[in-house]
């Protein structure tokens, strides 16, 4: 098992325990919980088990919780009746309890607002009659299988994101995260592989970012000026790990600058491995480049606390050692990025943050995919 060296245990607390501000929100430390879909919300309603799941991690030292993806109020937004929704009286009442419990435990929390777009399959719940929709009706592999969005479709989805954000502020959340990563709807507009439109929403990187920009602007207008808006994005997609939105920093800036101007307060830059440089000629990772290009706070994520094994192999039970945090701490001391989001390691060990902040690395539980179903 690989652990952080003893010399770095004290600096882990020093580096990671610093507060950080995102617009009007002060996060008590630099550790975030990454969003992870669990499908434990029948009818789209988060129950008491979901309340306990998030509150337990907040009580154990996670500064900022980003919830699992939650469907916005559009019929084509999702593909499962067990994934939580962020619309509907019963669903929002459940989420209000989650936010209250996380605050009582000393944490902060934002919901991740989600529309899966062309990832949806015909006949799936929660609204079986709804078609899959996307910028051009194309799936990640280039196959057809849904509907190219009309202007009305676009306006309806933008409105759904804005309504969900307003609801989040109303029921007590600390901000929102917009899911623009991993090949879901917003990302399908950003990526040339799925966006073949010839109108104002397709073409060069700036045009492909127009849909995301309009969502951000609508969300910004629907909430208070100090309410944080976080935007998550990635180069890679589901089943297309080599896909890239941008081949150069200049291309990346063309995409991110309009989003920052529209009202994004922080970017959550998703990589499979956070330590991998994003562009030739620099050691900066994707979050590092994001912060440099936009001047906005950035959250890094990608196999934090794991051993560096392949992303998929970890889910198959391989690569389960506890990874060193030395590289992460080096980068955070240089202010390459501002927060680190922890996913599978925190799912495995709810007390991961407490142990890391206290330098108790020898107590960290290694990731074991086979045991996760028993965890809460």
Catalytic residue list? 184
Centre a 10 Å sphere on the Cβ of residue 121 and count the other Cβ atoms it contains: 12
Using CA atoms, how far apart are residues 364 and 59, in angstroms rounded to an integer? 17
Residues 6 or more apart whose CB falls under 8 angstroms from that of 65 comprise: 32, 33, 54, 57, 58, 102, 107, 108, 109, 110
**How many residues does this entry show for the chain?**
376
* 95, β-bridge pairs: none
State the first-to-last Cα distance of the chain, in angstroms, to the nearest integer: 24
- For residues 101 and 55, the answer to whether their CB atoms sit within 8 Å is yes
Please count the CA atoms within 13 angstroms of the CA of 192 that sit on its side-chain side: 11
Using CA atoms, how far apart are residues 270 and 274, in angstroms rounded to an integer? 8
């Amino acid at each position: 098992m690989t652990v952080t060296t003893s010399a770095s245990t004290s600096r882990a607390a020093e580096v990671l325990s610093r507060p950080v501000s995102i617009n009007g929100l002060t996060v008590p430390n630099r550790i975030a919980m990454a969003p992870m879909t669990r499908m434990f919300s029948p009818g789209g309603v988060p129950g008491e088990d979901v309340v306990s799941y998030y509150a337990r991690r907040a009580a154990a030292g996670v500064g900022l919780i980003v919830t699992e993806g939650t469907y916005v109020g559009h019929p084509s937004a999702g593909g499962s009746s067990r994934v939580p929704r962020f619309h509907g009286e019963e669903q929002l009442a459940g989420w209000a309890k989650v936010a209250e419990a996380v605050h009582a435990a000393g944490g902060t929390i934002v919901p991740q607002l989600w529309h899966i777009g062309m990832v949806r399959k015909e006949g799936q719940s929660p609204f079986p009659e709804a078609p899959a929709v996307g910028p051009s009706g194309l799936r990640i592999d280039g196959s057809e299988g849904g509907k190219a969005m009309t202007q009305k479709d676009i306006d309806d989805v933008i409105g759904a994101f804005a309504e969900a954000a307003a609801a989040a502020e109303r029921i007590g959340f600390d901000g929102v995260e917009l899911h623009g990563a991993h090949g879901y709807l917003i990302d399908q507009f950003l990526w040339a592989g799925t966006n073949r439109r010839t109108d104002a929403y397709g073409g060069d990187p700036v045009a492909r970012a127009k849909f995301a920009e309009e969502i951000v602007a609508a969300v910004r207008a629907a909430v208070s000026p100090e309410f944080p808006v976080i935007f998550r994005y990635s180069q890679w997609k589901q089943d297309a790990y080599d896909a890239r939105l941008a081949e150069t920093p200049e291309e990346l800036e063309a995409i991110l600058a309009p989003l920052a101007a529209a009202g994004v307060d922080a970017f959550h830059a998703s990589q499979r491995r956070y330590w991998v440089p994003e562009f030739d000629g620099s050691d900066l990772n994707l979050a590092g480049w994001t912060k440099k290009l936009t001047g906005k706070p950035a959250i890094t994520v990608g196999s934090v606390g794991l051993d560096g094994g392949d992303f998929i192999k970890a889910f198959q039970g391989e690569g389960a050692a506890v990874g060193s945090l030395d590289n992460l701490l080096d980068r955070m001391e240089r202010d390459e990025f501002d927060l680190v989001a922890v996913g599978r390691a925190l799912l495995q060990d709810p007390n991961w943050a407490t142990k890391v902040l206290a330098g108790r690395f020898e107590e960290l539980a290694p990731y074991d995919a086979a045991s996760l179903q028993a965890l809460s």
